[in-house]
Amino acid sequence: MTGRFRRCTITKVPRSENAQADALARLASSYVTDTPSGTMVRTIGPSVNSILRENLDLLEEKRADSHLRALAYRRAVTKLYNRRVRPRHVETGDLVLRKTEVSDPTRSRGKLTLN
């Protein structure tokens, strides 16, 4: 667009001379238009509604499949974790090393107390 113009000049108009243009701008921005109260809405045909219902049914199936996949993943992770854990048999009266904050919030006993 700049190729069409050979020269561009910007002139500053003093505010006192620009009062009429400001008044017109204020008048145009304060003009309130009434919006039409009724709007036309196109209804969706029955074929589209049936397709949407079928998609909702498929959505439930996909949700169930993803839930089953999540359960299978959780089982696999649990199996891997349990494979690496060394089971230890602890009987009543054995000395165990434990976190005191969980078992004794008042901190009246130490870590190496009887079970």
For residue range 34-54, list pLDDT tens digits in order: 766 777 777 766 777 788 888
Domain assignment of residue 93, yes or no: no
78 occurs within a structural domain: yes
Residue 100 lies in a domain: no
Q: Does residue 15 lie within any of the structural domains?
A: no
Tell me if 13 is assigned to some domain: no
79 — pLDDT class (breaks 50, 70, 90): very high
- The residues with which 114 forms a beta bridge, in sequence order, are 95
* pLDDT above 80 for 77: yes
- Say if residues 65 and 86 touch (Cβ distance below 8 Å): no
In sequence order, the β-bridge partners of residue 95 are 114
Would residue 80 count as lying in a domain?
A: yes
Domain limits for position 59: 47-86
Number of structural domains in the chain: 1
Do 90 and 115 touch, CB atoms closer than 8 A? yes
- Is residue 77 a part of any domain in this protein? yes
Residue 61 counted as domain residue:
yes
